[in-house]
Amino acid sequence: MSIVFDSEKKIFKLDTATSSYIFQIYEQDYLVHLYYGSKIPDNNVAGLKYRGGFPSFSPNNINVQDWMFSADVTPLEYSGEGTGDFRTAAFAVRNADGNNSTDVRYKSHKIYKGKPAIDGLPSLYVENDDEATTLEVLTEDSVTGVQAVLYYTVFENLGAMTRSVKVINASDKTVEIERVMSTCVDYHTHDYEMLTLYGRWAKERSLERRPLAHGRQMISSKRGSSSHHHNPFAAIVDKGATEDYGCAYGYNLVYSGNHLFEAEVNQFAGTRVIMGINPDSFGWKLEPGAEFNSPEAVMVYSDKGIGEMSRIFHRLYNKHLIRGKWRDIKRPLLINNWEATGMEFTGDQLVTFAERAKELGIDMLVMDDGWFGDRNSDRSGLGDWQVNEEKLGGTLAEFVNKIKALGIKFGIWYEPEMISRDSNLYRAHPDWCIHVPNREKSIARHQYVLDYSREDVRDYIFGEMKKVLSTCKIDYVKWDFNRNLTEVGSAALPADRQKEVFHRFVLGTYDVMNRLTKEFPDLLIENCSGGGGRFDPGMLYFSPQIWTSDNTDPIERLTIQFGTSMCYPASTMGAHVSACRRTGYDTKGNVALWGTFGYELDPNKFTDADKRIVKRQVKEYHKYYDVIHFGDLYRLISPFDNPKRAAWEFVSEDKNEALLTVVTITRPEDSAIFIKLKGLDPDKYYMDDETDEVYSGALLMNAGLCFPNEDISDGASFVRYFKVIEN
């Protein structure tokens, strides 16, 4: 079994395909962390609890016989606030006495096959109980009666585990949760680097790497969403770790709101890592008998470099996060009208788009913003989700039938969490937006944010969406989110629950998305937030793909897609060919193939040459779909390291196919491109689909190939496809 308990040593050992995670029930029922790293067969690691001597300034528990034990320096499995551990706490509850001293100790545990869902929150799942094993550890604060159930689930065959916490108020007094981290890990050293993904609108998920130093280093969001600025992903990696060598510990939070990842190096050069809901502006009033669930943290370990860490995440999410009909089948290749028309379109104009799209082999037309209410600019209409029949030239059903008659699918745009000041909904319900009393409301993109902590608001919006989506067969919804939360308050909550609004808003969004996916199980949802402002596992649970960035420039997209791939698979990355002036359609298509693929332009403006290129790209999309969406990614040349060139490769699970893509960013000094492939079977032979040359996997990986005749001008690119042949 992948989780075992040694009753004699009181040690828990959790094994994945790549790692072992070990902790112990120690004296006075403290839970002490012992080891997290490469897989080991035994559990003789109890000595790792000792992290050096300490002076009187690190207090002792007088009931613990081990004089070397202090909560201040011992690696604790789930640390509390104000009871001897001066490092960043994982858990803090303000009790009825007014203090927040928190100290949870072991009470009991159980181990079972399978994985439970988390009430109200997205989480990884299993389709049968043999795919994972779960450990539940019940801990309790003996003074306050507050309990914390620590959940650990091991995906043994995938080298990954998840952690979450359920807080239970088992006392007869109300308490307030001030901090509840989803995971806490104490490393014995600080000889690591911290890898994170920072960014901004149209420049998301750039890679940043820095050595750990004494003190606290963190990333976070308090914008009400996971944000463009700091993705809820981070990794702790060996100094000098590369794509292929070194240890990498990856962390990702299955949450779409305010988050925190922190690494604190203490006085003995140990490192504590925590991840969870950002405690800034968070609080949760917990009545007697009530429960609170933390979001789930995903933990991946690899001793074969950063690249293998990423591939473990990709395999895990493709099978245990992405759900529903669109997980395993080919998704439609779409064209979106936004960059061609904005909101200024007519139904007849979109029908011509669909006609041209059908001629090119495109599967679906998506009608973007502007189809509803009085929505002819971004100043009005949000919240009024009634079809503008004058613009469409008839009912939505009549319009969609025209599109369907051409033999292609149809999609539609929504921004369900937002409301315009100039809208019928706002005039009727001004209290339905997030706001605080007597304070001016900040405006962004001429809109406010609906208060999704309110059930009546959620019911209304879902009801309006259901009316539209039920009128005809709509295949796809683009769910947008174009501003962050300010003046965060709810008119429906009392003063002592206003700190709950941020989290309740996220729970409300999940509630509406969950209703939508249950009501319309065949619907394909693509998430968007000004591009990639809410690219996180929480959204992926409901929408199997997310618009990666509003920036569709193929050269700019290189860093965006390389950064995103640190954690998220190609199947989740919305990537389209646009009318951007930099590079030709060849490179635009080659870059967009690393994702869901589609078009953002006016097909009526294509030349005959453009049409030939697009038709070829459509064929390539179908030909390479499986190897890209379900294969393993190898980042060969990173644009973060090489300003002149980028290269990546996809290899099928059975190692029978490989797709190599190379992009020249700026013309380099060398006149040839030399590439060593990765991930192939050294004993198999592969044919280059373009030249018909045959090479062994060993040659392609060890000797490599030289491409002397390829175009190396600025923005040029090429793709090479290799397939196994019989010996």
CATH architecture observed for domain 3-320: Distorted Sandwich (2.70)
Tell me the backbone φ, ψ of residue 648, rounded to 5 degrees. Answer: -150, 165
Name residues of the chain where pLDDT drops below 50. none
550 tagged catalytic: yes
Question: What are the structure tokens assigned to 294, written together?
Answer: 């933390």
CATH of domain 634-725: 2.60.40.1180
Question: What are the structure tokens assigned to 463, written together?
Answer: 């009801």
198, 580, 592 from 663: Cα distances, Å: 23, 16, 12
Q: Contact, 662 vs 676, CB < 8 A? A: no
Q: Count the residues in the chain.
A: 727
Using CA atoms, how far apart are residues 54 and 555, in angstroms rounded to an integer? 53
What's the pLDDT at 255? 98
How do the domains of the chain map onto residue ranges? 3-320, 325-547, 634-725
Question: What are the structure tokens assigned to 213, written together?
Answer: 């130093």
Q: Which of 303, 368, 475, 480 is catalytic?
A: 480
95, 218, 297, 508, 581 from 233: Cα distances, Å: 32, 11, 10, 23, 33
What's the pLDDT at 167? 98
Q: Which of 72, 422, 550, 553 is catalytic?
A: 550
What's the pLDDT at 727? 66
Q: Contact, 697 vs 686, CB < 8 A? A: yes
What's the pLDDT at 503? 98
- Sequence-distant contacts of 616-624: CB under 8 A, at least 24 apart: 617/577, 617/585, 617/589, 617/593, 618/333, 618/360, 618/361, 618/362, 619/361, 620/589, 620/593, 620/719, 621/333, 621/593, 621/597, 622/330, 623/721, 624/593, 624/650, 624/659, 624/721
Whether 3-320 shares its CATH topology with 634-725 is answered: no
Superfamily of domain 325-547: Aldolase class I (3.20.20.70)
480 tagged catalytic: yes
